[in-house]
Amino acid sequence: MNKIYFYFRILSIIILFLTISPNLFSQQEINLVEGVLIDYDKCGFFYDDEKNSYTSSINNWGYSYDSLLADLEIWKLSPYVKIDSIGLSVMGRPLWRLTISDDPENILDKRTVHVHARTHPQETEGFWVTDEMIKILLSESPEAQAIRETCVYYIIPMYNPDGVELGYPRENANHVDIESNWNTFPHQPEVAALKASFIELMSSPKPIEVALNIHSSSLCKRYFVYHDSGGTSSTFTLLEQDFIEGIRSYYPSGIEPWYYFISWVNGTPLQYPESWFWINHGENVIALTYEDMNCTSAGNYDLTANALIRGVMDYMGIVTGVNDFAEFVPEKFELYQNYPNPFNPSTVISWQSSIDSWQTLKLYDVLGNEVATLFNEHKPAGVYEIEFNPINLSSGVYFYRLSIGDYFETKKMIYQK
């Protein structure tokens, strides 16, 4: 085996805690096996050619424009909120925005986070996550106080109020999807208002550092839409990985790894809000879509909101104090499918262990010959990840096998030169 040299390095030993859904990689595996992306959009919906519409499975979205008006009345009682509107919808409804900070009238020295939700009316779960974020940010906990002292959060809880009221699953009153028409001119009024607001905030002394675009997906998973280096840069992908895994470290059993949903593999599609940030501000802004679950298993909005806020603050280097979830450890073993697969030149292999033990990861060829030892260390319970970057390895099928105590699991990978 020494004839073949392997260079691999530990990308990051991510101490994550809790369990991970066993079906974590099913979607990605299908994509990879077929070599093409399934025709879902990033929210997990697909266009039904026969019905000439997006699939829609939910009749009662449960949170109307009136519900928002009622909540605005409650939120505005807080001394930490200022409420204004960034503009009007097609039908003239204000696009309400919360400005949250310790003194929301005086935010010029505060570091800026932006959140907008409910672009797609049927994705109510994205609103419930946002609602929990608002609750956390307005609370009197020491962490919330620390955040408000340092930061300002701009939050638009309902970016498409007309669509909500008209019962359109994804569009505004002009039947335009305002998520994916940022490069269509003239702009829809909602797009024009949000873009103008972004431009204003980006030219302020403390421009937006993190911009979250909150949706929910019929794929019934919680995940970030990760932008490949093909449409961004390798530096940006490392920032994205750091950001996503940081958030996930607070809710590893609920949020998928960074590579669950990859987009922008062949360039930057121009139509999205995130494209605008990337083209105009590059690596200065982490602008990402977060997808909550759009299905009956949705829930845990408070856990998700907590993870989002703590992860964002960690990414920005803002110390908020207590980590509520630091005591958790994975409840079971799991070896994950490598990503990408097939691969060239490198791939990432990750796994989790529920015990402190020796962890050994070996590579075998199709004849069962051991080709290399990729990892062999005594480690505490946690989630681990390595990048495998083979040198002088023949193209073909290989198997990687993880052993921890009595636990063994093997998965297949394909190396393509």
> Letter for the amino acid at 266?
N
Stretch of 43-51, 59-67, 189-197, 324-332 contacting Zn ion, by CB under 5 A: 43-51
Stretch of 207-215, 226-234, 315-323, 403-411 contacting Zn ion, by CB under 5 A: 207-215
* Positions 338 through 377 that interact with Zn ion (CB under 5 A): none
Judged by CB, which is closer to Zn ion: 124, or 320?
124
Judged by CB, which is closer to Zn ion: 40, or 399?
40
388, 8 in Cβ contact below 8 A?
Answer: yes
How many residues form the binding site for Zn ion (CB under 5 A)?
4
CB of 221 to Zn ion, least distance (A): 14
Quick one: angle between helices 301-315 and 142-150, nearest 10?
50
- 62's CB contacts (< 8 A; 6+ apart) are 124
Stretch of 8-16, 116-124, 182-190, 269-277 contacting Zn ion, by CB under 5 A: 116-124
Asked if 43 touches Zn ion (CB under 5 A), the answer is yes
Judged by CB, which is closer to Zn ion: 120, or 221?
120
Stretch of 71-79, 134-142, 187-195, 212-220 contacting Zn ion, by CB under 5 A: 212-220
DSSP state of 343: B
- Using alpha carbons only, give the angle 128, 20, 125 rounded to the nearest 5 degrees: 10
Place of tokens 């961004």: 232
Judged by CB, which is closer to Zn ion: 114, or 120?
120
- For residue 346, what are its two tokens? 């490198």
- For residue 213, what are its two tokens? 């675009």
CB of 217 to Zn ion, least distance (A): 7
Separation of alpha carbons 93 and 35, rounded Å: 44
272: left (phi over 0), alpha (psi -120 to 50) or beta: beta
Stretch of 4-12, 123-131, 148-156, 184-192 contacting Zn ion, by CB under 5 A: 123-131
Asked if 222 touches Zn ion (CB under 5 A), the answer is no
Judged by CB, which is closer to Zn ion: 126, or 340?
126
- For residue 74, what are its two tokens? 């409650």
Question: What is the biggest distance separating any 2 CA atoms in the chain, rounded to whole angstroms?
Answer: 71
CB of 54 to Zn ion, least distance (A): 10
CB of 195 to Zn ion, least distance (A): 18
* Of positions 93, 97, 111, 215, contacts Zn ion by CB under 5 A: 215
Helix (H, G, I), strand (E, B) or coil at 225: coil
113, 209 in Cβ contact below 8 A?
Answer: yes
CB of 42 to Zn ion, least distance (A): 7
Separation of alpha carbons 258 and 237, rounded Å: 10
* Positions 261 through 320 that interact with Zn ion (CB under 5 A): none
Asked if 120 touches Zn ion (CB under 5 A), the answer is yes
Stretch of 52-60, 215-223, 228-236, 338-346 contacting Zn ion, by CB under 5 A: 215-223
C-alpha distances out from residue 107 to 152, 201, 309, Å:
7, 11, 19
First to last CA, the chain: 20
CB of 43 to Zn ion, least distance (A): 3
Question: Which residues of the chain form contacts with Zn ion (CB under 5 A)?
Answer: 43, 120, 123, 215
